Amino acid sequence: MYRYDDYDHAIVQARVAQFRGQTERYLAGQLTDDEFRPLRLQNGLYIQRHGPMLRLAVPYGLISAAQLRRFADVARRYDRGFGHFTTRHNLQLNWVKLAEVPQILADLAQDELHAIQTSGNCIRNVTTDHFAGVAADEISDPRPWAEILRQWSSFHPEFAYLPRKFKVAISGATEDRAAIQVHDLGLQVVRDPNNSAEIGFKVYAGGGLGRTPLLGQVVREFLPWQHLLTYTEALVRVFNRYGRRDNAYKARIKILVKALGREEFAQQVEAEWAHLKDGPATLTTAEVERVTAQFAAPAYETLAEDDLCHLAHLREDKAFSRWVERNVQAHKVAGYAAVTLSLKKPGAAPGDASSEQMEAAADLAERYSFGEIRVSHEQNLILADVPQRELYTVWHRAKAAGLAAPTVGLIQDLIACPGGDFCSLANARSLPIAAAIQERFEDLDYQHDIGDLELNISGCMNSCGHHHLGAIGILGVDKNGEEWYQVTLGGRQGNDARIGEVIGRSFAAAEVPDAIERLITTYLAHRHADERFIDTFDRIGEEPFRNAAYPHPHQSRRVANG
Amino acid sequence: MANKQIIKERRLQDDAWKVVTLVDGEAPFDVCLPVGPLLVPVSVWKAKKACLIHREYEHGTPLGIWLAPEDDLAGIAADIDDFTVIAVHFPKFADGRGYSTARLLRERHGYDGELRAFGDIGRDQIFFLNRVGFDAFVIGEGKSAEDALAAFDDFPESYQGDAVQPLPLFRRRVA
């Protein structure tokens, strides 16, 4: 993974000192709340329901064992001994003290960690595929490109006060696992149609969830890699100059792209880019090689395709084979596998990890996976390079640490934001709904029978739980001070990304598990062999599901904005 | 006003420029131009260009203009070299359009006169403002200009190229 040199260290250290000064001036009354707000946000610091929340960056989801131990230590020392992994690879601490944040950042900087631009109206953490570097369908490892973008976007002097936040996602594989079409800027690595030896990017702009969910539009079919930064700079400049600033809900780039239309927007970016193209920010082979070398494949052993002991364990231990079926993914190197450590279980918020669990994951990574961990946007941790022969041991150790729920991709692996229990923006709580659903479907046989199902919960229209992308999406809404939940169906991420559609009136909290179960029962009754929930939905359409969700027909009429 | 101080060349200096603004409903050609160096809005520049140039020619009064965040540079591109000072207004520090304006003036239009930031700016904006090409700063009301002087050195190094250092770090990095 990328290791800091003296330049990177000096820049992060300078940020620690700068933020220490800003916090001291705020606490001394020299900065007003309004003046301090964007400064603290650009360091990931929110003022939340229970006090400050600090969002720490995990650039493109990659973290070393030492860094994860540092997170564990910080969570224990300055918080309540746990943290929350988000859908954008970051780690949130919910109970920090404002006055201690400068020291937290100083501690983190010792391990090349920070909270730079994890919030605020600036360019945010670049996200990518959690199987980057090990996926068989990869054209180019996206992580070097993500690191190049991280450096370019960090403390970019022109783009610290954009109309609104700006999120970039990049995928290097043919199957998109980074949800690039729902980002402000989505980059898909592709081969040059005229010369397959050269790579570049297909560029999507204007995607996003929130109040106005939109998929990104293709603004350039092929951007040669050399021009990644100049083109991106042109695109963000057009946004900075012409994005709306009169209404925060209309300020994302998606609104600008929609208002101008794809062609006009793309044309304006091209016109701006014409001035920057081939300028000093044009990437060099030397720089790409310098960064790429830091993501070189680890020293894999030469192993047989199948480990005989592993096969024996698979045959003899049903619980183990069930875990392997759901939590272990194929690897492009013979004899290796990628393991997902689940952060989902009833009674704990999805994505929550205790300091002990972080340390256990760090130990596992160090011992069995070259000392690296990935944070997935499904809020789990991934050991990407585990030898097959160690899987049985890894499973036992993961189980002891509460990280081995064999439910990856199943209903219990649902995605949820922290919701109204923690977040001051939320209209409703997410976690009790998540827990109620997880309890309803706790039976493992039932879960495995239902199979692949993406269920996403957001506590408000900001859509941090990506509810629009769930096969089943649940959105918390406020009705006269009460919490209600709107259900969407048919959403999906990936190459065929689609926004889910609302099926009808909202449900009271207590009705949600029953409604979800009726949807599931409908699926089970209609499915063909091996058909996933989403496939059945596509085949038979929304109506049977809607009828099941609302057994009393008069209730199913659509309600504007739920 | 004549004694007000601004930051230039990284120190506090006296400043004589006055900002001309239109009051509500006032037509640009109606505005009364006080003596001394003036920063006029784009509309006044366009309406009274001949008069302003005359003042410079006859009295040696230097020309200046100020730009609002939404002002387009296309309308004044041909005149840019006439100005001794171009000022960019930040009505709210969170409105970042002026940062792009500055880079365009410096990097696209080749403006090499004084580029001044004024409005709601202070210590926490100086470092980036300086990088995008501003070299003079009128610190916002109620904020300390002395304090702001310290901010030029907030970071020892930057990743991107900018109006001051066009080469990004990756072209300068020494292993």
Residue A487 CB-density burial (10 A; 0-12 exposed, 13-18 middle, 19+ buried)? buried
With CB atoms and an 8 Å threshold, state whether B128 touches A160: yes
Residue A554 pLDDT level (bands cut at 50, 70, 90)? low
Share of chain A above pLDDT 90, in %: 90
pLDDT at A295 over 60: yes
The predicted pLDDT at position A148 comes to 98
Average pLDDT of span A538-546: 96
pLDDT digits (tens, 9 = 90+) for A475-518: 999 998 899 999 999 999 999 999 999 999 999 999 999 999 99
The DSSP-derived string for B116-170 is EEEES--HHHHHHHHHTT--EEEPPTTS-HHHHHGGGGS-S--SS--SS--S-GG
**Residues A102-114: b if buried by 16+ CB within 10 A, e if exposed:** bbbbebbbebbbb
pLDDT digits (tens, 9 = 90+) for A461-476: 989 899 999 999 999 9
CA A471 to CA B41: how far, in whole Å?
54
pLDDT digits (tens, 9 = 90+) for B44-88: 999 999 999 999 999 999 999 999 999 999 889 999 999 999 999
Q: Report ipTM (2 d.p.).
A: 0.96
Could you check whether A308-408 and A412-556 share the same CATH topology?
A: no
**Which position has the token pair 């904005």?**
A561
The predicted pLDDT at position A70 comes to 98
CATH architecture of A412-556: 2-Layer Sandwich (3.30)
pLDDT at A561 over 80: no
* Beta bridge pairs of residue B5: B14
Instruction: Give the one of A38, A151, A245 whose C-beta lies nearest to B159's C-beta.
Output: A151
- Domain extent listing, chain A: 6-109, 134-292, 308-408, 412-556
CATH fold of A134-292: Sulfite Reductase Hemoprotein; domain 1 (3.30.413)
The predicted pLDDT at position A47 comes to 83
**pTM value?**
0.94
Residue A560 pLDDT level (bands cut at 50, 70, 90)? very low
pLDDT at A556 over 60: no
Q: Which tokens hold the place of A508? A: 């009271």
What are the chain A neighbours of B105 within 8 Å (beta carbons)?
Answer: none
**Residues A420-436: b if buried by 16+ CB within 10 A, e if exposed:** bebbeebbbbbbebbbb
pLDDT digits (tens, 9 = 90+) for A85-118: 998 889 999 899 999 999 999 999 999 999 999 9
Residue A228 pLDDT level (bands cut at 50, 70, 90)? very high
Instruction: Give the one of A11, A157, A237 whose C-beta lies nearest to B131's C-beta.
Output: A157
With CB atoms and an 8 Å threshold, state whether B93 touches A159: no
Instruction: Give the distance from residue B21's alpha carbon to the nearest chain A alpha carbon, in angstroms.
Output: 22
The predicted pLDDT at position A345 comes to 84
Query: How many other C-beta atoms can be found within 10 angstroms of the C-beta atom of residue B47?
Result: 17
Question: What range defines the domain where residue B64 resides?
Answer: 5-171
Q: Which tokens hold the place of A64? A: 């070393």
pLDDT at A558 over 60: no
| CATH entry 3.40.640.10 includes domain A6-109 | no
pLDDT digits (tens, 9 = 90+) for B111-158: 999 999 999 999 999 999 999 999 999 999 888 899 999 999 999 999
Backbone angles phi, psi at A508, to 5 degrees: -70, 155
Query: How many other C-beta atoms can be found within 10 angstroms of the C-beta atom of residue A53?
Result: 23
**Residues A141-176: b if buried by 16+ CB within 10 A, e if exposed:** bbbbbbbbbbbbbbbbbbbbbbbbbbbbbbbbbeeb
pLDDT digits (tens, 9 = 90+) for A352-384: 999 999 999 999 999 999 999 999 989 999 999
Count how many domains chain B has: 1
The predicted pLDDT at position B3 comes to 56
With CB atoms and an 8 Å threshold, state whether B97 touches A241: yes
Query: How many other C-beta atoms can be found within 10 angstroms of the C-beta atom of residue A119?
Result: 21
The predicted pLDDT at position A553 comes to 60
Contact of A412 with A438, CB cutoff 8 Å: yes
The predicted pLDDT at position A369 comes to 98
CA A80 to CA A93: how far, in whole Å?
9
Among 2.60.120.700, 3.40.1190.20, 3.90.480.20, 3.30.70.260, name the CATH number for the domain at A308-408: 3.90.480.20
Instruction: Give the distance from residue A287's alpha carbon to the nearest chain B alpha carbon, in angstroms.
Output: 6
CA A283 to CA A197: how far, in whole Å?
17
In 3D space, the residue among B104, B90, B106, B99 whose CA is nearest the CA of residue B140 turns out to be B90
CATH code assigned at B20: 3.40.50
